[in-house]
Structure formats: structure tokens, C-alpha cells
């Protein structure tokens, strides 16, 4: 009985973490973050940042492909191997697939979207054409995009995780990331 429970939990964990692996792993190495300030400092707006946001969006959807591995392995295990292990994998990876697909029927949008990239681009364009002060320096802070020179809020868009190497280390950072799923930790103040 205990063995079945452990196998079920292990299977669930594998199914749970697999779809999140691309976001957790791919961009965390130092070489990928050459153009960015260190986590958790604000990031200056630049084409690199816009590109990073779009990459995070790609990795998020790539997670669906990664979910197919535990779904297939879970099925194989259910048929030929350990039933609790396979059921655990199936249940948790199937759940994350459903969770991501609900975006299309009006659920929560992903933490990284194309619309967000466009909003960043609009702020950059505006700070060139119609600057907020003499030395516009738009940066993405935790709760909004603000100008670091005059501190005016340029876009009330809280910052999601942006794939930088986490300041809290790989282990604690990964746990926090799994808990938040990449969404901003701080919600928009205007919603209060
Ligand atoms: Zn300014």
C-alpha cells in the first residue's frame, strides 16, 4: 500500500514538473542573460527584453509537447508496468494540459503573451517620440513599467518571471517558480 502511494506521488511529480521544464531550465544559464540586469532588479526595456518575453511564451507552449512524454510513459506504465505510477503521471500531466488549454475558452492568459510584447514596444516607441522627461529610462519593475529617471508609471503591467538566473538560487528559485508558474508575484494595484 505504502509502495503504491509513493509510486503514485513520484509519478505525479514527474507529470507535474515535465511541462514546466522548458521555462524552468532553458534560459537560466549565465550566457543567456548577458543583456539583462541580475534578478530581481528591474530590467531596462530593449529589443532583447521583448525577444526574451516572446521566448518565454514559446517555452510555455513548448511545455505542452513536454507533457506528452509523461502522458505516453504514464500510459505505458499503466498497461505494462506499475499502475499507481502511471496513473500519477497521467493525472498530473493531463491536468497541466487542460490547465493550459483553458486559455482558449476564456481562462487566465499565460504569464507571457504576444500582447505584452506589443505593450513593451509601445512604451519604447513613446519614450522616443514623446518622452516623459529629459532622460527617459523605461524599465520593467516588479509592479509596473516605470521611467527610472522621473519615476512616472508608463504601463501598469506587473513583471512576470523573465527567465533570468534567480537570485534565490536554483533550488528555492525553482520552487518559487513552480508555485507562481511564472506569473507576477505582485498583482496590479489598480485591481485592489
Ligand atoms: Zn522619465
Q: What separation in Å is there between the alpha carbon of 122 and the centre of ligand 1?
A: 15
Backbone phi and psi for residue 45, each to the nearest 5 degrees, phi listed first: -70, 135
Confidence at 117, pLDDT banded by 50, 70, 90:
very high
Mean pLDDT of the chain: 91
* Three cell numbers, residue 89: 503521471
Q: Is the pLDDT of residue 188 over 60?
A: no
CA dist., res. 85 & res. 90, Å (int)? 9
Mean of pLDDT values over 153-161: 95
Q: Which of 32-41, 48-57, 161-170, 180-189 has the highest mean pLDDT?
A: 48-57
pLDDT at res. 185: 80
pLDDT at res. 170: 86
Q: Is the pLDDT of residue 176 over 50?
A: yes
pLDDT more than 70, % of the chain: 96
Q: Is the pLDDT of residue 164 over 70?
A: yes
Q: What separation in Å is there between the alpha carbon of 133 and the centre of ligand 1?
A: 4
Q: What separation in Å is there between the alpha carbon of 127 and the centre of ligand 1?
A: 8
Contact at 8 Å (CB) between 61 and 45? no
Q: What separation in Å is there between the alpha carbon of 137 and the centre of ligand 1?
A: 6
Q: What separation in Å is there between the alpha carbon of 15 and the centre of ligand 1?
A: 46
Q: How many residues does the chain have?
A: 192
CA dist., res. 22 & res. 25, Å (int)? 5
Residue 90's H or E segment, with its range, is helix 83-101
pLDDT at res. 182: 92
Report CA Rg, the chain: 20
CA dist., res. 49 & res. 56, Å (int)? 10
Amino acid at each position: 500500500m505504502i509502495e503504491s502511494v509513493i509510486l503514485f506521488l513520484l509519478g505525479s511529480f514527474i507529470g507535474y514538473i515535465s511541462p514546466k521544464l522548458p521555462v524552468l531550465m532553458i534560459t537560466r544559464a549565465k550566457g543567456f542573460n548577458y543583456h539583462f540586469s541580475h534578478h530581481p532588479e528591474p530590467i531596462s526595456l530593449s529589443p532583447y527584453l521583448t525577444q526574451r518575453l516572446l521566448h518565454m511564451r514559446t517555452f510555455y507552449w513548448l511545455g505542452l509537447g513536454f507533457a506528452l512524454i509523461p502522458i505516453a510513459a504514464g500510459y505505458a506504465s499503466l498497461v505494462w508496468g506499475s499502475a499507481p505510477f502511471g496513473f500519477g503521471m497521467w493525472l498530473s500531466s493531463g491536468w497541466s494540459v487542460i490547465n493550459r488549454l483553458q486559455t482558449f475558452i476564456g481562462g487566465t492568459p499565460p504569464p507571457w503573451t504576444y500582447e505584452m510584447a506589443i505593450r513593451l514596444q509601445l512604451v519604447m516607441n513613446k519614450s522616443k517620440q514623446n518622452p516623459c522627461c529629459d532622460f527617459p529610462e523605461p524599465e520593467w519593475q516588479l509592479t509596473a513599467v516605470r521611467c527610472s529617471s522621473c519615476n512616472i508609471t508608463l504601463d501598469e503591467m506587473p513583471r512576470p518571471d523573465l527567465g533570468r538566473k534567480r537570485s534565490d538560487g536554483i533550488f528555492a528559485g525553482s520552487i518559487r517558480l513552480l508555485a507562481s508558474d511564472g506569473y507576477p508575484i505582485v498583482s496590479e494595484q489598480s485591481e485592489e
